[in-house]
Amino acid sequence: MTRRRLVRAPASSANLGPGFDCMAAALALHLDLEVVETGSFAVESELPIARGRENLCVRAFERLHPADAFTFTIRSQIPLSGGLGSSAAAIVAGLMAADHLFELDADLLACATELEGHPDNVAASLHGGFVICADGQVARFERSPCERAPPVPRSPYRCRCRMQCSTSRTRPCSR
């Protein structure tokens, strides 16, 4: 029997005003990762991403289990280097795939934080919703019904810069 997992991880934004690198929100764009035991290693994608073991999904997967006998198929709606957590989604997807395939019950947040370097985007991608990360802890907030909630616009405003720039290059500008 061929082992297979399909996992989906959401985009996220951690560039939330004064909460840069400590607050994040999951977004409605996703990365889909399918991992199939084929007997040989391969990465398949139409995206301009690494096809070897340096691929973030594969690196994350291999943090928990060797990838030698698996084919990784990656599809994503998340723009690369667009500030929407594409690397966090890739890391979370790779970890989730290995964890589920081999029933490891790993500490996915700790592994993801170690790979990404900070917990905000990976926490939002792993847990969904809105999260605040501080002192090694993650608090997740969910919306709650309110009797007198103000009307919410049907299409919230969303803007995205067309220029690509990695978070590691922009982070020093915020300090």
Please write the tens of the pLDDT for every residue from 148-159: 555 555 555 555
pLDDT band at 70 (very low <50, low <70, confident <90, very high): very high
Strands 4-13 and 137-141: unpaired
Return the closest-CA partner of residue 92 out of 167, 16, 137, 26.
26
Of 158, 157, 163, the residue nearest 80 (C-alpha): 163
> Distance of alpha carbon 145 from its chain centroid, rounded?
28
Cβ atoms of 124 and 26 closer than 8 Å: yes
Q: Per-residue pLDDT averaged across 53-71, rounded?
A: 98
Alpha helix (H) residue ranges in the chain: 56-64, 86-101, 108-116, 120-127, 167-170
Higher-confidence residue: 19 or 15? 15
Looking at residue 155, what is its pLDDT? Answer: 54
Mean pLDDT, residues 45-63: 97
Q: For residue 46, what pLDDT band results from cuts at 50, 70 and 90?
A: very high
**Residue 24 pLDDT exceeds 70:** yes
CATH of 4-141+156-174 among 3.40.50.300, 3.30.230.10, 3.90.420.10, 1.20.200.10: 3.30.230.10
The domain spans of the chain are 4-141+156-174
Residue with tokens 């889909």: 32
What are 174's two structure tokens?
A: 């915020």
pLDDT at 146: 55
**Average pLDDT of the chain, as a whole number:** 86
50 pLDDT above the threshold of 70: yes
Three-state SS at 23: strand
> Percent of the chain at pLDDT above 70?
78
Q: What is the pTM of this model?
A: 0.81
pLDDT over 90 (residue 41): yes
pLDDT of residue 126: 95
Average pLDDT estimate for 46-75: 98
Q: What is the CA radius of gyration of the chain?
A: 17
From residue 113, how far is each of 3, 93, 109, 124 by CA, in Å?
A: 27, 13, 6, 11
User: Which of 49, 56, 167 has the alpha carbon at shortest distance from 118?
Assistant: 167
Angle at 34 between CA 79 and CA 68, to 5 degrees: 110
Which of these, 132, 38, 124, lies nearest to 87 by C-alpha position?
A: 124
- Tokens for 4? 């297979």
Confidence at residue 134, expressed as pLDDT on a 0 to 100 scale = 79
